[in-house]
Structure 1
Amino acid sequence: MRATGLVKEFGGGGLRRRRPFRAVDDVSFAIPRGQTLALVGESGSGKSTTARMAAHLVEPTAGRIELEGEDVTRLRAEALARFRSRVQVVFQDPFSSLNPRHSVEQIVTAPLRYQGRRVPGGERAFTRALMERVGLDPDHSRRLPRQFSGGQAQRIGIARALAVDPSVVICDEAVSALDVSVQAQVIELLVRLQAEQQLSYLFIAHDLAVVRQIAQQVAVMSQGRVVESGPREQVFDAPQHEYTRALLGAVPRIPAEWDAARRAMVEQQTVQEEMA
């Protein structure tokens, strides 16, 4: 996926001829196949609006989005439906993005019905295989979202995104609502799925500690603009912009023994979930 000169303005006009608010201003990026680009910045920096434009949930005021060489900026009807199968979104709050009245099977297979697809072996077998793939018990396919923990519900959201075999997955603050130990488990899952499927991720986050675990490329946004971008090591170890340095300076430093204890706790919880 490639974006060039993205601009998004809101409001403006009216009797007082108010100027529109420019939430995103001339943002460009490229995500190679099988890699992760993280968009980072404070709340209001424009990163989520950029993600929504990339997902075709919001139409840009100006600029261009390309997917596999095709301009997908202003798709309609059947072309938009095809785009939906190539680009999927994992949202921040798993419970608000899952229909509370639908079972896991209904949720996971909803994109298939939207696309008019049939799967060999039927939807039940398809759902069970996908649940197993994201670390959920296939026997729970008829449960409702409220019967799962937050981390498990986010795995359902990831399974739904994978159902139509996308090439790009946009993770909009996908782990920020989870406990730290559960965050690590979901990040580990995303990394594994990326390696298996050569997925490209646009990863929206404000937590630089999380970004360092998953991203190969980082773009730092402030007031609607990208102020710094480059390989992860370059941005983290030799930041050029004062805003990037300020963000990095705000990241808590965790003593090595605390980090080792945290990792041990994550491994123990993972084993317990697998045995449950």
Structure 2
Amino acid sequence: MTGSSGRTAPPTTPTTSTTSTTSTTSTTSTNPATPSPGARPGGPAPGDVLLRAEHLVKEFAVAGSGGLFSRGETFRAVDDVSLEIGHRETLALVGESGSGKSTTARLVARLVDPTSGRVELDGRDVTTTTGRDLHAFRGDVQMVFQDPYSSLNPRHTVERIVTAPLVYQGRKPPGGARAFTQQLMERVGLDPQQWQRHPAQFSGGQAQRIGIARALAVSPRLVVCDEAVSALDVSVQAQVINLLRRLQREEGFSYLFIAHDLAVVRQIADRVAVMSGGRIVEQGARDAVFEHPQHEYTKALLAAVPRIRPEWEAARRANRQRHHDRSVTP
């Protein structure tokens, strides 16, 4: 179906936009994040849309069964997807592997061209933008990828990696490359004295922070995070999520957050769009989707999220308190 912006009902009966009309209630044990400053429960207001994608379709050629030169068929990875992202808002796009969410992210970021459909930034059509306009768009929309090691050039120093977007834009780093790099490293929680090191000299979480610093270099308006924390340890995931939320508060940009881990999504998203088979099957405010899922696929995703039994959580808190009491006892 065509994805559409979900609108929530009054707080007592939250709803989401979906192909299903049957409502059930689901609860999870994760703690939701505080909504972003610009977030609205049902989606951005008409005049507050930063990015709009309409009826996006992406087809890839598939080799024919008759051999190399035979007429091939096409595979539709993204099928009539529409979504909106407001200023200072985080929209999470979730689904299992192969659902089309990462291809949608690349379409939005103009890393691949759609077969059909339209992408707008602040009401301006950027679907076929080229030349200087595309350069400007690259400054407005940046990406943070899943694997930091494969997305960072192993031969380049942190300084060269972080300043690369500015070089692409034909701009000079304010205050010089070294000072600019060190300032960004501090902002993402890295030791600024390591500006001459290479990616392989950092842990996975640290390398991902370099990728985040690179995205920040051109002061983007939208950051597309494509499974940006899925390759990290759980403890490191939490640190990076907190970093992303802090940077959004400070800079005021928006996120398109691609993920399959719903526990992570609930920590950062304002709204959630659920993809299956290349289509958005449900979208709406985060709490409405999590607590009152409408589509069967959404219900199945939520049912697969591990839950902590209340008695286990109480025991964990009590144990933590005992350790705290021992540490402060004279």
Q: CA deviation at 1:119?
A: 2.7
Kindly tell me the number of residue pairs found equivalent between the two proteins. Answer: 263
Q: Aligned partner of 1:7: which letter?
A: V
Partner of 2:180: 126
Give deviations 1:196-216, integer Å, cap 9, x for gaps: 111110000000000000000
Which residue among 78, 100, 107 is the counterpart of 1:53? Answer: 107
Higher-Rg structure is: 2
Tell me the equivalent position of 1:6: 56
Aligned to 1:28: 82
Question: Which runs of no fewer than 5 residues in structure 2 stay unpaired?
Answer: 1-50, 322-330
CA distance in 1, matches of 2:118, 2:314: 47
Q: What's the counterpart of residue 201 of structure 2?
A: 147
1:21: how far off?
1.0
CA drift at 1:9: 0.7
Letter in 1 for 2:105: A
Q: Which moves more between the two structures, 68-77 or 223-232?
A: 68-77
Distance 1:69 1:253 in 2: 42
- Structure 1: 5+ residue stretches without partners: 265-276
SS at match of 2:86: coil
Residue pair 2:159, 2:195 contacting (<8 A) in 1 also: yes
Structure 1: distance between partners of 2:193 and 2:256: 32
1:148-201 deviation digits (Å, cap 9, x = unpaired):
110000000000000001000000000000000000000000000011111110
Secondary structure of 1:169 counterpart = strand
- Residue 258 of structure 1 and its aligned partner are, at CA, apart by 7.9
- Change in Cα spacing, 1:175 to 1:5, as seen in structure 2 (3 Å) is same
Ranked by relative contact order (alpha carbons within 8 Å, sequence separation 6 or more), the top structure is: 2
CA shift, 1:118, in A, is 1.3
**Counterpart-to-counterpart distance in 2, 1:61 and 1:185:** 38
Q: Helix, strand or coil: the match of 2:185?
A: helix
CA gap 1:4/1:167 in 2 versus in 1, 3 angstroms: same
Match of 2:164 in 1: 110
- Choose which of 74, 85, 89 in structure 1 pairs with 2:143: 89
Amino acid paired to 2:90: T
- Residue 236 (1) aligns with residue 286 (2): no
- What does the per-residue CA deviation read over 1:6-45, in whole Å, with 9 as the maximum and x for residues that have no partner? 0001116976544411110110000101010000000000
Aligned amino acid, residue 178 of structure 1: L
Q: Whole-Å Cα distance in 2 between the matches of residues 52 and 215 of structure 1? A: 19
Cα gap change, 1:13 to 1:251, in 2 (>3 Å)? closer
Tell me by how many angstroms 1:257 deviates. Answer: 4.8
**Amino acid in structure 2 at the alignment position of 1:30:** E
For 1:68 and 1:46, how far apart are their aligned partners in 2?
Answer: 24
- 1:65 matches 2:126: no
Q: Which amino acid aligns with 1:182?
A: V
Which structure: greater helix fraction?
Answer: 1
Superposed, which structure 2 residues align to 1:191-202 within 5 Å?
Answer: 191-202=245-256
Q: Which residue matches 1:166?
A: 220
Q: Indicate if the aligned counterparts of 2:163 and 2:173 stay in contact, CA closer than 8 A.
A: no
Structure-2 separation of matches of 1:64 and 1:258? 52
1:214-271 deviation per Cα after TM superposition (whole angstroms, max 9, x unaligned): 000100000000000000001000000000000000000124258769x99xxxxxxx
Shift of 1:120: 2.8
CA contact (8 A) 2:58 2:115 kept: yes
1:198–1:259 CA distance, 2 compared to 1 (3 A)? farther
- Residue identity opposite 1:55 in structure 2: A
Q: Normalising by structure 1, what TM-score?
A: 0.91
User: 1:79 — aligned with what?
Assistant: 133
Helix, strand or coil: the match of 1:139? helix
Shift of 1:77: 1.6
Cα RMSD of the aligned pairs, angstroms, is 1.8
1:99 maps to: 153
Amino acid at match of 1:167: R
Contact in 1 for aligned 2:56/2:82 (Cα 8 Å):
yes
Residue number in structure 1 paired with 2:37: none
The alpha-carbon distance between structure 1 residues 77 and 41, as it changes in their structure 2 partners (threshold 3 A), is same
Structure-2-length-normalised TM-score: 0.77
Query: Match of 1:228, SS?
Result: strand
Cα gap change, 1:183/1:13 in structure 2, threshold over 3 Å: closer, same or farther?
closer
Q: Would the aligned equivalents of 2:90 and 2:271 in 1 still touch at CA under 8 Å?
A: yes
